[in-house]
Amino acid sequence: MIKDVNLNTYASSDVVDYYQYLQQLQPAEETLIKLLKNQLPTMKMLDLGVGGGRTTQHFFPLVKEYIGVDYSAGMIEACQQRFTQLYPSIKLMVGDARNLSQFEDNSFDFILFSFNGIDYISHEDRLKTLQEMSRIGKSGGYLFFSSHNLEAIEKQFNWQHHLSLNPFKTYVDLIMFTFLRGFNPSISYHTIQEKNYAILRDESHNFRLRTYYIRASEQIKQLEPLFKDIKVYSWKTGLELTTNDDRVRCGDMWLYYLCRLK
C-alpha cells in the first residue's frame, strides 16, 4: 500500500518539477564529501532515489563511475534532460531499491540513498532494501543515507510543544499540529512514545506521502547485522552525533547514517 501511494506522488509532475530544480548539498553531504575526498576518484557510485539529480552535479565530477537510479520514470526523465548533454557518460535508469537484480553482487564502492528516499517504503521492504544494498556493495564499501528522526516528530505530537511567547507562531504551529493529528488519527503523543519506528503522514508534499520515522538507536540495530563502523550525522550542521544522548537531543527532522559493508 505504502509503495503505490508514494510512487504515485513521486511520479506526479508537480513533485518531479520540485526536485528537478534542487541544487544545494545538505550539510551532512558536504561532510561526507570531505571525509571521502581521497577515495571518491576511484569509486563506482550508485545514487539511489536520485530524484531530479540534486546530488548528481556534486558527485558525478568526483567519482570514477556514476549510476543514478529512481523508481519514478518521471524523475529519471528529468535527470536525463538535465544532465545527458553535460555528462555524456552518465548512466541513469529506472529501478526499485527493493529489487536491484540488474546489478551483480559486489558492484559498488559507494551507495548514496539521499534525502530520506529509504523512508518511502514499508518496514519489511526497508529491511529488504538494506539487504539489497549490502549485496550490491563491495565489502568495505560505503553506504550513506538519511532517515526521518522519530525523536523529532514525536515532539510535534505534543500540543504543549507548540506554545511559545509569540502568539502568531503559536497560532501557526497549532494549526500544523491539528493537521498532523488529523492526517494521523491513530497516532498520539502517548502511542508514538512507545514506538521505535512509525509510518505517518507529515507536511511534506501536503501530507500526500507515507513516511517512515525511526529512532537512531533502532536504525543502528537494523544496520548492525550487515554494516560496520556506523556513524550518525546531523543533517543541519553536518556534525557527527557521537553518543545516543546527542542523537536523542538533536532536534533534526532527519539524520544521516554513514556505514561500511562488512
Ligand X SMILES: C[S@@+](CC[C@H](N)C(=O)[O-])C[C@H]1O[C@@H](n2cnc3c(N)ncnc32)[C@H](O)[C@@H]1O
User: Residue 251 Cβ, how far from ligand X at the closest point, in Å?
Assistant: 20
- Residue 25 vs 162, nearer CB to ligand X: 25
Residue span binding ligand X (CB under 6 A) among the ranges 94-102, 134-142, 159-167, 239-247: 94-102
Q: CB–CB of 16/74 below 8 Å?
A: yes
Residue count, binding to ligand X (CB under 6 A): 22
User: Residue 70 Cβ, how far from ligand X at the closest point, in Å?
Assistant: 5
Does 147 bind ligand X (CB under 6 A)? Our answer is: no
Does 121 bind ligand X (CB under 6 A)? Our answer is: yes
Residue span binding ligand X (CB under 6 A) among the ranges 90-98, 165-173, 239-247, 248-256: 90-98
Does 66 bind ligand X (CB under 6 A)? Our answer is: no
User: Residue 144 Cβ, how far from ligand X at the closest point, in Å?
Assistant: 12
Does 149 bind ligand X (CB under 6 A)? Our answer is: no
- Distances, alpha carbon 180 to alpha carbons 29, 40, 91, 108, 117, in Å: 29, 41, 39, 39, 21
Does 82 bind ligand X (CB under 6 A)? Our answer is: no
User: Residue 190 Cβ, how far from ligand X at the closest point, in Å?
Assistant: 29
- Residue 19 vs 83, nearer CB to ligand X: 19
- Is the C-alpha dihedral spanning 67, 70, 71, 77 positive or negative? negative
Does 49 bind ligand X (CB under 6 A)? Our answer is: yes
As a whole number of angstroms, the distance between CA 174 and CA 171 comes to 5
User: Residue 119 Cβ, how far from ligand X at the closest point, in Å?
Assistant: 8
- Distances, alpha carbon 175 to alpha carbons 43, 116, 134, 146, 182, in Å: 47, 25, 42, 28, 10
Does 116 bind ligand X (CB under 6 A)? Our answer is: yes
- Residue 14 vs 245, nearer CB to ligand X: 14
Does 98 bind ligand X (CB under 6 A)? Our answer is: yes
Residue nearest to ligand X (CB): 51
Give the one residue of 76, 97, 111, 258 binding ligand X; rule: CB under 6 A: 97
Scanning residues 6 to 25, which ones bind ligand X (CB under 6 A)? 10, 19, 22
User: Residue 103 Cβ, how far from ligand X at the closest point, in Å?
Assistant: 13
How many alpha carbons lie under 13 Å from residue 210 in its C-beta half-sphere? 14
* Contacts with ligand X, residue ranges (CB under 6 A): 10, 19, 22, 48-51, 54-55, 70-72, 75, 96-98, 114-117, 120-121
